Structure 1
Amino acid sequence: MIRTRFAPSPNGPLHLGHAYAALCAHDLARARGGAFLLRIEDIDGERSRPEFVAEILADLAWLGLGWDGEVAFQSARLDRYAEAGERLKAMDLLYPCVCTRAEIAAAARAMGPDGPVYPGTCRGRPVDPRGAAWRLDTARAMALAGPLAWIDERAGAQVATPGIFGDVVLLRKDLPASYHLAATLDDAADGVTLVTRGMDLFAASHVHRLLQALLGLPVPVWHHHGLLVEADGRKLAKRRGSPSLADRRRAGEDGPALATALRAGRFPAGISLASA
């Protein structure tokens, strides 16, 4: 049975982009007789707020979206992330790194999907692991895993090329795990068979496919949908104060009618759907 999920972070109010993403995951599951799950990605202790969790639940209910089973919380899975990190260390695939973002930007020789590609400064040199981040030695990991492929429902068959990110951080200095590690482990734990998310995360799936191979996790199919963008082409974002669903809800707007409009591609003035 197909299983999809919507996995917001409770670090601010949801906006129309979140609504569109939730609708994509929900509708794909319902159209195929599957399950739609809700996961709260709340391991950022500095930014996650309980009040935003309540708002997320209220916003989804207002849109007319129901989920299956109990709501999952990343904060209940910290042991799982630590265990996976130790497994990768035991495989000699992680190394500690103390480089700052400024140092990486100054030394980088290439740009990747997330910005400057880490040049491997700490790889192979003595580093005090206390207070360090832990990076994946991507070349070593790919040599161990061998050629890997994955499927996107819209883009078709893909060959995994995680090297475009360089040696990504999997265990952060300030958080229990990076998005790459936590999301990959969570989707496996939740039995997600179809990973739906925006096209801005398409490249991340190359890394996630590698992690699945290294950790012996099941391989889902992906579905990367378009993004809602503003008139200047920038995607909607909490940090820029994109209008929230909560504000629309409290103003008395009809949630199911908004959901119907988004499904039909009718967006508010100044907002459009971009495929990449």
Structure 2
Amino acid sequence: MDLNTVVDVRDARRHEPWRPGDAWLGGGTYLFSEPQPRVRRLVDLSRIGWTPVRELPDGSVEIAGTCTIAQLSRFGRTLDAPAAPLIEQCCRAFLASFKIWNMATVGGNLCNALPAGPMISLTAALDGVCLLRAQDGALRRVRAADFVTGAGRKDLAEGELLRSVTIPARSLGSRTAFRQASLYGLGRSGALVVGALDPLDGSLAVTVTAATVRPFRFWFALPPGRSGLRRAIDSAVAGRDWFDDIHGLPAWRRHMAFHLAEQVRHELTRDGVR
């Protein structure tokens, strides 16, 4: 779509003061999908030169905000870690063609903060940490599970940039289980649940996304039973937190979240046998 309100495009490598009407341009798959009447200038990140994704010396993985889904998918297929299959599963959860895969970015998916964003699911489930950079160069870190605060809302100040997301080595060492539900065979996720079992202390994390307006990550020092897991989800997710749109009613999303969470719990713990 033509953005007929845009009057200028600036290379992000050339620092200039941020001004009203500016917007970061990563892959642009969302930005050019609908009118953006408030946008006057695009700040283009495409030539900024960040390494898309890399394994750090401590075993953690750093994913640049500009990393495309295709680049992350290729990296995930070569990563030697128990949680590596989850990367491909979340990449495949996109309702997107290969064209989108080669343009859409991890940072863009997070910053759009749509409930069905699978990069939100991936990074929240693996306890990722977002590195945010302000216009004056100041850096701050926010857990991926806390970065998205609602449907279309995120913890991002005016002009602030999502530089990267780091996945801890310990999370990558977890056994994971993935479940996704949609109203249609190739439809947008209506509920997506990921479980991660820590091999060191036996703790279990269950993360619910797509069904809710923001990620909900539940951590258990010891894996709960079926009723314990259900109580934890029911007590934390209020009625207004279940997402409501054409891709699923709140009651259906709630039912599927409970159903998929129980499947994930059972797969990883077999009711206590790990």
TM-score range with shorter-chain normalisation?
A: under 0.3
Q: Which has the higher strand share?
A: 2
TM-score normalised by length of structure 2:
0.24
Higher RCO, 1 vs 2 (CA within 8 Å, ≥6 residues apart): 1
TM-score normalised by length of structure 1:
0.24
